[in-house]
């Protein structure tokens, strides 16, 4: 259950309308790293969390805060769009007819589609989509994704902050910048808590680690004979797994004689082919179905064995 308070978390009071800047601000609403993304990402992570108590509560707290940030931005956008597009277009036309001819960067959908309100899109009018979010059910992997999301969100907020002189807009964005600064810390501290509580040994996602090639989990390969990458910490010193020293391999060479060639193609698919791998096997829909059935049977046999 969610409860709504009839006040914004922080004020969204521009000094004056600015339909052109509103089009830029849309990136912070419906862009890949906008507030809609972190809102939905954290909500889904919270709903999917299988650890009752502090972890689930923390995720849902920040998710709920992000709902409020979307509300702040959409309110700011509506106030920036006050009087647009007619008034804004008229002023732009008076100053620069060419600029006015293309609406000076204004998004006409703000008037046509939403009647002077925000849209769930980025600054180019591309709709927000759920493919932006990460919610794997693995708290360590998700928390690392969240740090990145907050960093990208803050970076874009900082860039947009420099695109306006409106003191009211800057005031709200100063609040948003600060919250993104803390939220990065929150997720990093969450990783520390996962380590402390024994959910991960060292903060590295290492599921099925006992099966991985052990000599490859602490090796840095350089593929440029003149590379200076070996000077970095990532190429020397103790690995973060707490067990090994990092191995640096300059001018890396192939570890196999296997070449990246597929099998001879199905002649019915008319692929350009020189015949060097023999004659391809013709395939059909029925053949693909039979192969699928055979795969399932083999899996069952393997499980029984």
Mean pLDDT of all residues in 15-31:
94
150 labelled ligand-binding: yes
More confidently predicted of 114 and 247: 247
180 labelled ligand-binding: no
pLDDT on residue 136? 98
90 labelled ligand-binding: no
Which of 140, 180, 139, 155 is CA-nearest to residue 45?
A: 139
Dump pLDDT digits (tens) for 63-110.
999 999 999 999 999 999 987 655 555 555 455 444 444 445 567 777
pLDDT on residue 240? 94
Dump pLDDT digits (tens) for 124-183.
899 999 999 999 999 999 999 999 999 999 999 999 999 999 999 999 999 999 999 999
Mean pLDDT of all residues in 241-257:
95
Q: Domains plus CATH for the chain?
A: 19-196 (1.20.1260.10), 209-274 (3.30.1530)
183 labelled ligand-binding: yes
Which of 235, 283, 240, 241 is CA-nearest to residue 263?
A: 283
User: Given its phi and psi angles, is residue 208 left (phi above 0), alpha (psi -120 to 50 degrees) or beta?
Assistant: left
pLDDT on residue 101? 42
pLDDT on residue 204? 95
Average pLDDT of the chain to the nearest whole number: 90
Whether 286 shows a pLDDT value over 70: the answer reads no
224 labelled ligand-binding: no
Which of 83, 60, 78, 113 is CA-nearest to residue 8?
A: 78
């Amino acid at each position: 259950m969610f409860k709504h308070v009839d006040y914004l978390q922080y004020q969204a009071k521009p000094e004056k309308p600015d339909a052109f800047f509103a089009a830029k601000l849309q990136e912070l609403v419906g862009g890949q790293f906008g507030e809609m993304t972190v809102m939905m990402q954290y909500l889904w992570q919270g709903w999917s969390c299988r650890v009752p108590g502090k972890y689930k509560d923390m995720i849902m707290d920040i998710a709920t805060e992000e709902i409020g940030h979307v509300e702040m931005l959409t309110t700011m956008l509506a106030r920036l769009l006050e009087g647009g597009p007619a008034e804004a277009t008229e002023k732009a036309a008076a100053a620069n007819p060419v600029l006015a001819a293309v609406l000076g960067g204004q998004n006409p959908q703000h008037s046509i589609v939403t009647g002077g309100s925000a849209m769930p899109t980025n600054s180019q009018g591309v709709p927000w989509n759920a493919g932006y979010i990460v919610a794997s059910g693995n708290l360590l992997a998700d928390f690392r994704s969240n740090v990145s999301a907050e960093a990208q969100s803050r970076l874009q907020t900082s860039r947009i902050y420099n695109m306006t002189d409106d003191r009211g807009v800057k005031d709200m964005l100063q609040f948003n910048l600060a919250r993104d600064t803390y939220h990065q810390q929150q997720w990093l501290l969450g990783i520390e808590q996962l380590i402390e509580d024994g959910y991960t040994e060292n903060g590295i996602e290492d599921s099925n680690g006992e099966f991985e090639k052990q000599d490859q989990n602490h090796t840095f390969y350089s593929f440029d004979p003149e590379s200076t990458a070996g000077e970095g910490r990532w190429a020397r010193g103790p690995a973060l797994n707490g067990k090994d020293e990092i191995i640096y391999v300059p001018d890396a060479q192939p570890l196999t004689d296997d070449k990246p060639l597929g099998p001879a193609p199905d002649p019915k698919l008319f692929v350009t082919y020189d015949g060097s791998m023999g004659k391809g096997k013709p395939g059909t829909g029925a053949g693909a179905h039979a192969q699928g059935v055979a795969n399932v049977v083999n899996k069952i046999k393997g499980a029984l064995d």
